[in-house]
Amino acid sequence: MTTPRTGPGGTWLITPPSDGRLEAALRAEPDVALLDLEDSVPPYGKDTARTAAVAHLGAAPVHGATVLGLRVNAPGTVHGLKDLVAVADAGLHDVVLLVPKVESARELELVAQVLKETATGVRVCALIETPRALLRLDDIFASPVLGGVVFGAADYAAASGCRRTSSALWWARSSIAAAAAAHGIPSIDSPYFDLGNPEGLRRDAQEARDLGFTGKGAVHPDQLPLIRAAFCPTDEEVAQAQAVVSAAGRSGGQLVRSGGQMVGPPLVVAARAVLDRAGSRTEPSHGGIQ
């Protein structure tokens, strides 16, 4: 059984399923720790890795707020089907299942069918990483079994022939974030792969936040602090949001000026979202613009 339309945002740490890697990932306290059975494992090692990964997830202790998960192989492949059957047979529950190369809602329905008998509370998330998937976002995101989406920049760039730069990926990233918001599901931006460029990671994470993504992937624990900082509102942003919400409360539902700008319904909605992310929601004491 899958858990639809829900899923965590924030930081997603993807790691190989080798010994000790899950424990190291948990120590970094990401929002989601994913063992990877796809790109991290060569074909000859997938059966062994699958057995180990499922065992790790089944035996892992509860570790704070971190949600455990598994990136399986594409469901249209033999190894992908083996991965799904292994998850179902193990009866894993309350885990994220990241499905790569999704290009249609039908693929997600297949995943749900395999899992429905034994796996409970599984959050099925789709990796969007091909031009064909970009043209079918509404169909894919409308799937009732989908709990979130992740952008795969490296595969998308390879499939589309574009460079892996901010400008080249802007349309794909903004399309995914907007479509996910329209369907009310979390959207996770692709990891930043240059481990030796923290400034590049900072810019990339901030761009993801600006585009509307609710989180970002990481390939190393050292990347998590910069990603968290990008997605957490600054003190100045929180103060501005509190001022907007307070002004809206005093206005009795009318347009009002706050901090040199006119405050109307869209700005109030945005301000409340900032306070939600900061964990410091301040509601109007009376009335207010809805």
The reply, when asked if residue 129 is annotated as ligand binding, is: yes
Instruction: Give SS3 for 148.
Output: strand
The tokens for 41 are: 């494992």
Q: How far apart are the first and last CA of the chain?
A: 37
Is the separation of the CB atoms in 152 and 128 below 8 Å?
Answer: yes
Would you state the structure tokens that stand for residue 91, as one six-digit string?
A: 């009866």
Q: Is 73 left (phi over 0), alpha (psi -120 to 50) or beta?
A: beta
Q: Is 283 annotated as a binding residue?
A: no
Distance CA 26, CA 137 (A): 32
State the Cα–Cα distance between residues 98 and 198, nearest whole angstrom.
26
What are the beta bridge partners of residue 263? 256
Angle at 158 between CA 174 and CA 204, to 5 degrees: 40
Q: Which residues contact 42 (CB under 8 A, 6 or more apart)?
A: none
Residue 64 exposed, middle or buried by CB count within 10 Å (0-12, 13-18, 19+): exposed
Q: Is 71 annotated as a binding residue?
A: yes
**Exposure string (b/e) for 10-41, b if CB count within 10 Å is 16 or more?**
bbbbbbbbeeebbeebbebbbbbbbbbbbebb
Residue ranges of the annotated binding site for Mg(2+) are: 129, 155
Residue ranges of the annotated binding site are: 71, 129, 155
Residue ranges of the annotated binding site for substrate are: 71, 129
